[in-house]
């Protein structure tokens, strides 16, 4: 798929039905891609094999289609891309950009609370270990049936991206996990999403602004892999009446629940109104009047 025209995408994690906030972001991603002449790709981010469900994925895709959100090409499933992630990791390893990490979550949390540590970032505990220490730590993990995580040896601590709403945004870059350790090693999200977007020809990423802080890490990693970073659009969130990000616990907020009292067209119309456009009868009608320039940068409160 590489080399095809630019594309936008939506990539839900199949861990439950999509709620109003998810649907609003999906609709915006579709509108942004279609209004700029791009293809629109669909991907199922099921890299977390413990939480992902094939049934959930089917329901999510059916819900999106019911709202008039269509996509080009086949749906891409991350569980089919593990060999590609291994190849990307090998590319980084050959350049000396990968090292083993033996830290437990508790060790990382304790280190991140130290003075001058960047909250939420890996403090580099295992980056400079000597070979003897590495061999011992590796053996200690093997004795309990575990393998070390693999981290990126980053040579920057910050990176700047440009976002439609935030403008130039500089965020922290740490030695991010590329492959998780433990008893059942899993591929890490940052490595997967960068490679998947490139594979699908995605050059425009529209997603919730709670993910803005991930963009510098992903943009930096893309550069190391020889991939051009996409245009970023981190859209406002849907909040509950209490001011928290909307969640399924906030009431009848999934499409399936809303369809008890409304048609798909009425749900799309409500979404359109939340975006500052008048009532519409279908997603295609909203596309005709969609203009990113008039969108509000403020979060929308459900209610």
Return the H-helix or E-strand segment holding 170.
strand 167-172
Distance between CA 3 and CA 186 in Å, rounded?
29
Please give the C-alpha separations between residue 26 and each of 16, 65, 184, in angstroms, as whole numbers.
Answer: 15, 11, 32
DSSP for residue 84: H
Structural domain spans, the chain:
7-74+236-301, 83-189
Indicate if 83-189 has the same CATH topology as 7-74+236-301.
Answer: no
Check if CATH label 3.90.800.10 holds for domain 83-189: yes
11 annotated to bind ligand: yes
Residue 199: CB atoms within 10 Å: 16
pLDDT tens for the chain, 303 residues long, are: 444 469 999 999 998 899 999 999 999 999 999 999 999 999 999 998 778 889 999 999 999 999 999 999 999 999 999 999 999 999 999 999 999 999 988 877 776 665 555 666 788 889 999 999 999 999 999 999 999 999 999 999 999 999 999 999 999 999 999 999 988 889 999 999 999 999 999 999 999 999 999 999 999 999 999 999 999 999 999 998 888 888 777 776 899 999 999 999 999 999 999 999 989 999 999 999 999 999 999 999 987
Q: Please give the class, per CATH, of domain 7-74+236-301.
A: alpha beta
Would you say 12 is a known binding-site residue? yes
DSSP code of residue 244 = S
**Euclidean distance between CA atoms 235 and 163, whole angstroms:** 10
Structure tokens at 76: 């891409």
248 touches 14 (CB < 8 A): no
Structure tokens at 263: 């048609």
Looking at residue 20, its pLDDT comes to: 93
Task: Answer yes or no: is 104 a known binding residue.
Answer: no
Nearest-CA neighbor of 31 among 193, 256, 271?
271
> Any known ligand binding at 112?
no
Q: Please, are residues 68 and 268 in contact by the beta-carbon 8 Å criterion? A: yes
Is 34 annotated among the ligand-binding residues? no
Q: Is 169 annotated as a binding residue?
A: no
Could you tell me what percentage of the chain is helix, strand and coil, using 3-state DSSP and rounding each to the nearest 5?
A: 40, 20, 40
101 marked among binding-site residues: yes
Per the listing, tokens 């095809």 go with: 4
Q: How many residues does the chain have?
A: 303
207 belongs to an annotated ligand binding site: yes
pLDDT of residue 122: 87
User: Is residue 189 part of an annotated ligand binding site?
Assistant: yes
Hey, is 208 helix, strand or coil? Answer: strand
The reply to whether 113 sits in an annotated binding site is no
Task: Judge whether 13 is annotated as a binding position.
Answer: yes
């Amino acid at each position: 798929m590489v080399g095809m025209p630019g594309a936008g995408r939506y990539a839900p994690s199949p861990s439950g039905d999509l709620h109003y906030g998810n649907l609003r972001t999906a609709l915006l991603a579709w509108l942004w891609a279609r209004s700029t002449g791009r293809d629109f790709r669909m991907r199922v981010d099921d890299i977390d094999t413990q939480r992902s469900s094939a049934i959930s994925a089917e329901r999510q895709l059916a819900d999106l289609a019911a709202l008039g959100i269509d996509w080009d090409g086949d749906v891409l499933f991350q569980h089919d891309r593990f060999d590609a992630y291994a190849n990307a990791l090998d590319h980084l390893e050959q350049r000396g950009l990968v090292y083993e990490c033996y830290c437990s979550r508790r060790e990382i949390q304790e280190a991140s609370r130290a003075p001058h540590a960047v909250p939420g970032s890996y403090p580099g505990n295992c980056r400079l270990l000597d070979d003897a220490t590495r061999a011992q730590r590796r053996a200690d993990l093997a004795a309990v049936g575990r393998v070390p995580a693999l981290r990126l040896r980053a040579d920057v601590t910050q990176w700047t991206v440009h976002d439609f709403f935030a403008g130039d945004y500089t965020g922290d870059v740490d030695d991010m996990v590329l492959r998780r350790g433990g008893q059942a090693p899993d591929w890490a999200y940052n490595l997967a999403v960068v490679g998947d977007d490139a594979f699908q020809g995605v050059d425009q990423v529209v997603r919730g602004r709670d993910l803005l802080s991930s963009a510098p890490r992903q943009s930096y990693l893309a550069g190391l892999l020889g991939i051009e970073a996409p245009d970023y659009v981190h859209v406002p969130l849907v909040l509950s009446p209490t001011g928290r990000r909307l969640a399924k616990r906030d009431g009848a907020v999934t499409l399936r629940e809303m369809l008890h009292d409304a048609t798909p067209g009425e749900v799309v119309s409500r979404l359109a109104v939340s975006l500052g456009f008048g009532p519409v009868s279908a997603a295609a009608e909203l596309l005709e009047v969609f203009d990113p320039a008039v969108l509000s940068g403020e979060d929308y409160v459900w209610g």
